[in-house]
Amino acid sequence: MAVNGKAARGAAALVLACAVLFGAPTAAGAAGGAQRAPGTAAVQVRPADACVAGENLGEIANNFISRCRRGSIRQAFPGEHYGDTLGYIRGCGLKSCQTAWKLLNDNRFRK
């Protein structure tokens, strides 16, 4: 029984989506890499500069805050800058930009 191209593409997309959502094993994991003990969580390792504001100047402030800062920063962060890039906030001369930049670099809010 032949499968038409549209159905094959749909099936491939479904398999890929399930793999992404449910965590298909990577090539290293499928090849018999190191196994962790049952009941232990995988530790996510980030590069040292992944959450440094000065190294992520192209990222939108809201995304950076969600990824790298505690939620309590939102109480003091100037709301008009959530959609701005970190590079814009750093170079902007407004008082609200200076406040936002200081908060983004404040160690109290690091995860």
Distances (CA, A) of 56 to 59, 70, 88, 111: 6, 17, 11, 16
Instruction: List the domain boundaries for the chain.
Output: 53-109
List, for residues 9-47, the tens digit of each pLDDT value. Answer: 666 666 555 555 565 554 444 445 456 556 666 656 557
Instruction: Collect all residues with Cβ–Cβ distance below 8 Å to 87 and sequence separation of at least 6.
Output: 57, 58
pLDDT at 69: 96
Distances (CA, A) of 42 to 27, 31, 37, 83: 16, 18, 10, 32
List, for residues 68-102, the tens digit of each pLDDT value. Answer: 999 999 999 999 999 999 999 999 999 999 999 99
pLDDT at 27: 46
